[in-house]
């Protein structure tokens, strides 16, 4: 899910294409792994306070800074990286741009791989940008509209996560949640009925 939603889906939604390297096709086929890079050591929940800068130099943007806690970072072939293109923008959210970054671009590297308590199915690391030249055509969406790109993806991700946590009808809890009103007893108490349902549920899944 991570490499599809964080790498492929934003490219499709915001109509990014590259004539010589169709990264979206590689992500869809599973040949490539994708990642999203927004968080930094001092910019987690307050993502618009990020410090990674992207300075325009002719037909390129030059990125300097780092990203932290990046899911799939050590393994990603294609990353969507968010950086400040206008440090004086008011509000600050209007000065952030999304970029397509590919593994092997000069000036881009991965650093420490982070050890985690759980979720070991994907690796997490720090990303380093040292005078990393990104072609201007690798801007995803519109210049300085990166927060729109970011939030449009995060909103969809939240819907997917809620489904995976029991709100789909393939799971017993989803069915119980949907049908809860049917368990009400108008002339008596619902507590007794809840005990009956709970015992049946425990007997089935213990």
Catalytic residues: 157
CB atoms closer than 10 angstroms to residue 119:
8
Contact 23, 11 (CB under 8 A): yes
Residue spans of alpha helices (H) in the chain: 2-3, 9-13, 23-29, 146-164, 172-178, 190-205
Enter the tokens of residue 1: 């899910």
What are residue 96's DSSP bridge partners? 84, 145
Residues 6+ apart with CB under 8 A from 135: 59, 60
């Amino acid at each position: 899910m991570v490499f599809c939603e964080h790498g492929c889906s934003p490219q499709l939604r915001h109509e990014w294409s590259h004539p010589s390297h169709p990264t979206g096709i590689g992500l869809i086929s599973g040949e490539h792994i994708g990642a999203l890079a927004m968080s930094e050591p001092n910019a987690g929940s307050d993502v618009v306070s990020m410090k990674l800068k992207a300075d325009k130099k002719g037909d390129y943007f030059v990125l300097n800074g780092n990203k932290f806690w990046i899911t799939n970072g050590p393994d990603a072939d294609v990353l969507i990286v968010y950086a400040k293109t206008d440090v004086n923008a008011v509000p600050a959210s209007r000065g952030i741009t999304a970029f397509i970054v590919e593994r092997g671009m000069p000036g881009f590297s991965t650093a420490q791989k982070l050890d985690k308590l759980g979720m070991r199915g994907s690796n997490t690391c720090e990303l380093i940008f040292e005078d990393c030249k990104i072609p201007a055509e690798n801007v995803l969406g519109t210049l300085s509209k990166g927060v729109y790109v970011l939030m449009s993806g995060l909103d969809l991700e939240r819907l997917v996560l809620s489904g995976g946590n029991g709100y789909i009808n393939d799971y017993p809890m989803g069915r119980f949640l949907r049908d809860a009103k049917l368990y009400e007893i108008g002339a008596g108490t619902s507590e007794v009925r809840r005990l009956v349902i709970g015992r049946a549920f425990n007997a089935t899944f213990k």
